[in-house]
Structure 1
Amino acid sequence: MSKTKTTAGCPCGGPSLAACCGPYLDGYRDGTALPPTAEALMRSRYTAYTLKNEPYLLATWHPSTRPTERIIDPDESLQWLGLEVKSTLRLRQRKVDQAADADQDYVEFVARFRVGGKGQRLHEVSRFLREPDPSLGGTPRWFYVDGDFPTK
């Protein structure tokens, strides 16, 4: 994948694509750059959605929940507008209530987008697992598993 303007901010809100999500989008196949945290993976997945990078999204989706059908319609008039990572007591409490598991994490976020001129928002609490990846010789990496959609 070729990088777009690297001087502009990263779609996820980082300083630039090259200094933020770009290395993950470029290095996921051979493991040269893997997101070190669930939040970094979530941010890079948001960036992949903005760039319509379906191969990255599928590769970072846990095999147990990975869709088999297309997830991006290249002809859809969808415009991503911004990402806000939320830090809430509810999310921290959920993590405290679980048995300590460094290989599972949750990230709550709100992504804003526009479809056909109408603004919308996606509010999700995503679940991530860190597991060995057989395609990388067993190197552990984070995967998106699924998400819940809070009502408030």
Structure 2
Amino acid sequence: MPTPSKPAACPCGGGAFAACCGPYLAGDAIAPTAEKLMRSRYSAYTLRDEAYLRATWHPSTLPAGPIVDPDERLQWLGLEVESALRLRQRKANLPDSPDRDTVEFVARYKIGGRAHRLHEVSRFVREHGPGAARWFYLDGSFPNK
């Protein structure tokens, strides 16, 4: 399956792709927050950008095999980031660290003609290295609702 062309509107819903997730996926900028990284990773999934997904996944939890199946007939339909209030309530139970964050989201997709929802609370860690600090995806859990 060919790689989709870059869209005019950002798949994450944040406006124009060129001003939203585009610079992160192109390597021209580093996502400054865990939420922006999560949004850019959603956009990378919609564009089947394996290289970006691997580069933004923390090495300690990075899968050995492919992240994206180029033959999978999956269509991403939209992303919703959960409310800041719910996130603050959830974070109240976590150790306070400026280098750790969580982002709760619901991504909708269609596969085999059936619509599905992926509801995840993703954990991120920020590492300081040469140049700028960089956020990485660690893992996610799936809350019961």
Give, in whole Å, the separation in 2 of the partners of 1:100 and 1:75: 41
Give, in whole Å, the separation in 1 of the partners of 2:100 and 2:55: 18
Judge which range, 69-78 or 83-92, deviates more. Answer: 83-92
Give, in whole Å, the separation in 1 of the partners of 2:124 and 2:74: 25
**How many residues end up aligned between the 2 structures?**
143
1:119 aligns with 2:115: yes
Task: Name the aligned partner's letter for residue 142 of structure 1.
Answer: W
Could you state the TM-score of these two structures normalised by the residue count of structure 2? 0.91
Q: Corresponding residue for 2:26?
A: 26
1:52 aligns with 2:48: yes
Judge which range, 120-129 or 84-93, deviates more. Answer: 84-93
Could you tell me which of 15, 33, 36 is aligned with 1:40? 36
Q: What SS does the aligned partner of 1:114 have?
A: strand
Judge which range, 66-75 or 137-146, deviates more. Answer: 137-146
**How far 1:138 sits from its partner (Å)?**
5.6
Give, in whole Å, the separation in 2 of the partners of 1:88 and 1:38: 13
Alignment check: 8 A CA contact 2:77 2:107 kept: yes
Task: Name the aligned partner's letter for residue 6 of structure 2.
Answer: T
Give, in whole Å, the separation in 1 of the partners of 2:47 and 2:92: 35
Gap regions ≥5 residues in structure 2: none
Gap regions ≥5 residues in structure 1: none
CA-based RMSD of the aligned residues comes to 1.9
**How far 1:151 sits from its partner (Å)?**
1.1
Could you state the TM-score of these two structures normalised by the residue count of structure 1? 0.87
Task: Name the aligned partner's letter for residue 119 of structure 2.
Answer: H
Give, in whole Å, the separation in 2 of the partners of 1:122 and 1:69: 21
- The alpha-carbon distance between structure 1 residues 97 and 20, as it changes in their structure 2 partners (threshold 3 A), is same
Alignment check: 8 A CA contact 1:110 1:123 kept: yes
Percent identical among aligned pairs is 64
5 Å-filtered alignment, 1:119-138, equals: 119-133=115-129, 137=130
Q: Corresponding residue for 1:149?
A: 142
- The alpha-carbon distance between structure 1 residues 3 and 34, as it changes in their structure 2 partners (threshold 3 A), is farther
**How far 1:93 sits from its partner (Å)?**
2.2
